[in-house]
Structure 1
């Protein structure tokens, strides 16, 4: 018997919707900046923090960093400034350093904290680079280390795209790992191209791999900013960033960061995720490494964490129950406990330099 749900036109319409939504929200956060804003690359993006303004940052000090092309990166230093170790927090795609709000106070009890907005995100400039890439972000991270953390042991913590930035740094500067860099935490991230199905039907997931970049461009031209953009972003955020049951407060908090990220930055970085491959993963065997994956993550599922563990067999893998891609906000107590343990381990056993770099 003919099933109306299998009608080619219906399937085609559903595919278009699924692809549009997945392209609008993929790889580490989300993307629905509906109209290009004509960025001046050396101008700080207009950025309304929304609920982020409610965050208490205590005595944090701004320590701007100048990247290799002259772009100014927004960096803040917080926590225990006399602690023996510095923790550098690298946020995910379409987010900014405020995504670490649930970690800031707790980790600041154990370490000096360096938080930065990656290029084009938050209050950091996009710069003059023609093509945004993970490799460029890792060069920016190297500049942050050189200018803000020139000495002393370091723990690098990356969420989603931030984890990719850390892994790329290991490939570019292996000499840092096991000497300056003593610990690494990779949260909800992947060492290879993003291949998650995002909960889509198989046909849509396969088509997403080639259609998503074009969908970005199409949406920027076709969708009107008055077309319920805020509601759409919140719906996408709830569906793809969190496990079922996330509070509206969390959804709004993350969605406002996403909407504040310039569309050109999202579209510029997105193609690189399809090619991403972390050649420097073996270097992480020199340091204490923690991998955390959300049990319900549709973007970088636990299988991506297992792949990281195969590449870094001495790493610790933690699958966080009832958490999605936004596990740092969903399960902060558990995430903070494991990060605090990593910091303490690094302080007590500072180096694994004898291990094979791979």
Structure 2
């Protein structure tokens, strides 16, 4: 699958020496920069469809999280949401040191923004005007049952935890998955009704490019994620919380829990959509994020 490389692509090295692939596009004199953070097992291509629908005059920063996409594998002991938040803070300081920000995160990307608010409150209070949480959660991810009832749901959760342990111990750089089986699994797990075949293939391609041990470690970090209290630091920013009605990984109650902590936010639930809202509802996601930016620039 052909990957697009933006003219503004330039690697960034974090404080602990990890190389991240980052892309900054749009005019340097833009009043606000939209920062897009992707989720677990994916990379910045998560946002391709959304970026295509954003205003061309908008400045956009997106990147591959450590252990994902074109970024380097996460060094041992760094597969934590806290470390992702620090990476984001460092990247912003390097690439967008001044100006107003709107942050948007999908899945683990949303969790990263919550941790950023917790660990870097000065940055958030001083510069962040808007935040978009897309198919994500503020906690209780260890109780996810993949939409399956009773014993089946508990069993699915146990399998997921065992898989994470196996990935942590896996020493190769490529996941041992057959693309056909991976597409079937992804179609059921992260998409809602009637997904586009190319979207499913793109999601799988991103998964197969992620570093196995890194994503195993991050799965454990997701299960420990608890940042509901940290959302208080974002109450002064305009917010939107987007959820798919058929999301198996971050079900609608998780979106409602986030919205409850952000009284000024707008909760939008998309019927028939699953976890991959940036692909399944790209136009609607782009509209919501553009509105957050436009409120600041007008």
Q: TM-score, normalised by structure 1?
A: 0.77
* Bigger radius of gyration among the two: 1
| 2:87 equivalent in structure 1 | 140
Give the deviation of 1:74 after TM superposition: 0.8
Q: Is the Cα–Cα contact under 8 Å of residues 291 and 305 in structure 1 kept in the other structure?
A: yes
| 2:25 equivalent in structure 1 | 78
Give the deviation of 1:110 after TM superposition: 4.4
Give the deviation of 1:282 after TM superposition: 0.6
| 2:263 equivalent in structure 1 | 313
Separation of aligned partners in 1, 2:251 and 2:146: 9
Residues 1:226 and 1:312: Cα distance change in structure 2 (over 3 Å) = closer
| 1:182 equivalent in structure 2 | 129
| 2:293 equivalent in structure 1 | 343
Q: Does structure 1 residue 203 correspond to structure 2 residue 151?
A: yes
Q: Does structure 1 residue 329 correspond to structure 2 residue 272?
A: no
Secondary structure of 1:107 counterpart: coil
Give the deviation of 1:295 after TM superposition: 1.4
Separation of aligned partners in 1, 2:272 and 2:251: 12
Give the deviation of 1:228 after TM superposition: 6.5
Matches within 5 A, 1:15-94: 50-51=1-2, 53=3, 55=4, 57=6, 60-94=7-41
Aligned residues: 292
Give the deviation of 1:65 after TM superposition: 1.8
Q: Is the Cα–Cα contact under 8 Å of residues 81 and 111 in structure 1 kept in the other structure?
A: no
Separation of aligned partners in 2, 1:77 and 1:158: 16
Give the deviation of 1:245 after TM superposition: 0.9
Matches within 5 A, 1:266-277: 266-277=215-226
Secondary structure of 1:319 counterpart: strand
Residues 1:266 and 1:127: Cα distance change in structure 2 (over 3 Å) = closer
More off after superposition, 82-91 vs 101-110: 101-110
Secondary structure of 2:239 counterpart: strand
Secondary structure of 1:80 counterpart: coil
Residues 1:227 and 1:61: Cα distance change in structure 2 (over 3 Å) = closer
Q: Is the Cα–Cα contact under 8 Å of residues 232 and 262 in structure 2 kept in the other structure?
A: yes
Secondary structure of 2:226 counterpart: coil
Matches within 5 A, 1:206-245: 206-218=154-166, 229-245=178-194
Q: Is the Cα–Cα contact under 8 Å of residues 164 and 220 in structure 2 kept in the other structure?
A: no
Separation of aligned partners in 2, 1:209 and 1:64: 36
More off after superposition, 284-293 vs 127-136: 127-136
Separation of aligned partners in 2, 1:297 and 1:339: 20
Q: Is the Cα–Cα contact under 8 Å of residues 74 and 214 in structure 2 kept in the other structure?
A: no
Residues 1:131 and 1:63: Cα distance change in structure 2 (over 3 Å) = closer
Secondary structure of 2:136 counterpart: coil
Secondary structure of 1:286 counterpart: coil
Separation of aligned partners in 2, 1:124 and 1:150: 22
Cα root mean square deviation, aligned: 2.1
| 1:43 equivalent in structure 2 | none
**1:257-280 CA distance string (max 9 Å, x none):** 111112111111111111101131
Q: Is the Cα–Cα contact under 8 Å of residues 51 and 286 in structure 2 kept in the other structure?
A: no
| 2:109 equivalent in structure 1 | 162
Give the deviation of 1:127 after TM superposition: 4.4
Separation of aligned partners in 1, 2:274 and 2:69: 23
Q: Does structure 1 residue 281 correspond to structure 2 residue 231?
A: yes
Secondary structure of 2:131 counterpart: strand
| 1:261 equivalent in structure 2 | 210
Give the deviation of 1:231 after TM superposition: 1.4
Q: TM-score, normalised by structure 2?
A: 0.91
Q: Equivalent of 1:248, from 197, 206, 211?
A: 197
Secondary structure of 1:251 counterpart: helix
Give the deviation of 1:128 after TM superposition: 3.1
| 2:250 equivalent in structure 1 | 300
Q: Is the Cα–Cα contact under 8 Å of residues 175 and 212 in structure 2 kept in the other structure?
A: no
Q: Which runs of 5+ in 2 are unaligned?
A: none
Residues 1:344 and 1:227: Cα distance change in structure 2 (over 3 Å) = closer
Separation of aligned partners in 2, 1:163 and 1:61: 24
